[in-house]
Structure 1
Amino acid sequence: MRAWLAAWSVGAILAATTAHAADDPLRICLDEDRPPLSAHHRGKPDAGFDVLLAQAIAQRLGRPLAIQWFESKLDEDSSPQLEANALLSDGRCALVGGYALTTDSLVKPGMKTARLPDFAGATRDDRRRRVALGVLAPSQPYVYSPMTVLLGPKVQGRKIGDIGDLAGLRLAIETGSLGDAILMTFDKGRLIDSITHLVPGRDDLLGALQRGDYDATLIDLARFDAYRAVHPDTAVTASGYYYPIGANRGYVGLAGNGELMDAVNKALAELAAEGKIAELGKQAGLTYLPPREPAILGEVWTKIIQR
């Protein structure tokens, strides 16, 4: 009788623990203004590929989903790496979605602390304080994020098979962007005289391309997806050329949370094998490309400069 009661007690405890784990939300941090990957705006339903994927992952894990929205604003004391690390280290979420998987973005931070980005529910104290940082660990990638050449209305149909094919065109690029580094360093600066630099947040790069002020630019493919969703009649077209150095995106969490990452990787593998991830990309208006090798891109800047 005592043995039966002891076994029943252990079973009850395990069942209660399992039920509690199932009730514990899967907390994922997503950028509130990165369509078509993720978008959160007052008066509108949450949308984006990463939102749909997070819902699918949580369902596979049998857990409710809680999205912690944040706003990414770069300054001299911040970066996507530090923002993600601060959110995770502060316990705002267990995973950050849509994270570019590069060696640079996963190294141990050189700073011991960092400020939190603005996030939904943040207090005045949250905006002031600094968070002790941990070490990041990635999931397997779930989407490939390339740079692509966009063409203005005056050069529609021009064949682009390499960056060198942009010679003779009026090029526009945002200062300090990855596209800026690629174009400025190509073939020892061969394109420099054709490049006009625009200021992010002040100048409208794609609007200028649409007006025919410039002939071509080099930007992230997902950004063009977002522009095309708002401007379906745009005369700006994708050339079909993808710059050969691109990054996969995946989840990132804190090192030491291996059990959760293993479960997430298992769910990602199942969803990919069933074709569900590609379907979610299409549903969100994303030009979905499956992950490519290497899973984690190393030494991005060195690769660009050497090309």
Structure 2
Amino acid sequence: MRRWLAAWSLAAVLAANAAHAADGPLSVCLDEDRPPLSVHHKGKADSGFDVLLAQAIAERIGRPLKIQWFESKLDEDSSPQLEANALLSDGRCSLVGGYALTTDSLVKPGMKTARLPDFTGATREDRRRRVALGELTPSQPYVYSPMTVVLGPKAKGRKIADIGDLAGLRLAIESGSLGDAILMTFDKGRLIDGITHLVPGRDDLLGALASGDYDATLIDLGRFDAHRAAHPDTAITASGYYYPIGANRGYVGLASDPALIDAVNKALTELAAEGKIAEFGRQAGLTYLPPREPVILGDVWMKIIQR
């Protein structure tokens, strides 16, 4: 009898905890400085496409939204994939938004533990400790994020239908970036003589382009959107060309909570069908492109080399 009562009591506790989790806040981790996707600055209202979308999903599944803001800083012991996994595995959130859906970003991590990125509310101990990592599982994608050619004032109006159309222009690119790999390897190095390498974090790539020092660059479309929002009178312009290899973005959660991913996918399907996801993009100043195949991008470096 006592064993039965003990088992019943444990089952009741587990059921109560599950019900609380289902009714509690939907906790979403977002990067605090990734305009126009997500922005969080002290003294200012939170903004961005991923903020609007997270609010809509939380409302759709009947749970209040709690955003856990974090700051992504790469070092030799970390990466966006490990940071997201650490935040989820530590219970800081149930979902990470704006996650690039690639094969590499979703594989089981080779490391068993990782450090947490800086996040709102972090203590000194949080910054020192390591977190045991879990396995990630993605939602369906909700936006496509490609690379785009951006033109300086002297090249304004130049028609770009392919990377080869950049021949003869003064090109600037950040060393070690995806754009760097694309431009340097194009057609066996045909563009190399026209490329100037800038140092990320030290040189102002888009500022140099706007001042006319260079004619074109290849960057993430969202980065151009962010620059245009911060500098409405900028002299740089969109070419309208998107490099054919790009990644979808979606949510990522832990594989141990498939019910949450199912609920999020249902909400995303409904919001997309109603045109609301595209509207959130317009409200946030994002050049919204719907997801496309492949849903999960394979080895991007091999695709670039083989083109």
Mapped contact 1:22–1:62 kept (Cα < 8 A) = no
Aligned counterpart, 1:303: 303
Say if 1:16 and 1:77 are closer, same or farther in 2 by CA, change over 3 A: closer
Shift of 1:203: 0.7
CA distance in 1, matches of 2:128, 2:213: 42
Shift of 1:20: 3.7
SS at the partner of 1:281? Answer: helix
Number of residue equivalences: 296
Shift of 1:62: 0.5
Aligned counterpart, 2:139: 139
Matches within 5 A, 1:111-122: 111-122=111-122
Aligned counterpart, 1:8: none
| TM-score, normalised relative to structure 2 | 0.93
Q: Are residues 1:293 and 2:293 paired? A: yes
Moved over 3 A (4+): 15-23
Mapped contact 1:39–1:47 kept (Cα < 8 A) = yes
CA distance in 1, matches of 2:137, 2:16: 30
Shift of 1:23: 3.9
Aligned counterpart, 1:215: 215
Aligned counterpart, 1:267: 267
Shift of 1:234: 0.9
| TM-score, normalised relative to structure 1 | 0.93
CA distance in 2, matches of 1:260, 1:19: 13
Say if 1:116 and 1:248 are closer, same or farther in 2 by CA, change over 3 A: same
SS at the partner of 2:159? Answer: coil
Matches within 5 A, 1:181-200: 181-200=181-200
Q: Are residues 1:160 and 2:160 paired? A: yes
Aligned counterpart, 2:45: 45
SS at the partner of 1:260? Answer: helix
Matches within 5 A, 1:237-256: 237-256=237-256
Aligned counterpart, 1:75: 75
Aligned counterpart, 1:34: 34
CA distance in 1, matches of 2:175, 2:43: 33
Shift of 1:46: 0.3
Aligned counterpart, 1:177: 177
Percent same amino acid among aligned pairs? 86
- What CA deviation, in whole Å up to 9, does each residue of 1:36-88 have, x standing for no partner? 00000011100000000000000001000000000000111111101101101
Which blocks of at least 5 consecutive residues in structure 1 are unaligned?
1-12
Mapped contact 1:135–1:255 kept (Cα < 8 A) = yes
Structure 2 counterpart of 1:120, one-letter code: T
CA distance in 1, matches of 2:124, 2:170: 46
Which blocks of at least 5 consecutive residues in structure 2 are unaligned?
1-12
CA distance in 1, matches of 2:20, 2:157: 58
Say if 1:112 and 1:20 are closer, same or farther in 2 by CA, change over 3 A: closer
CA distance in 2, matches of 1:236, 1:252: 34
Say if 1:24 and 1:302 are closer, same or farther in 2 by CA, change over 3 A: same
Shift of 1:176: 1.3
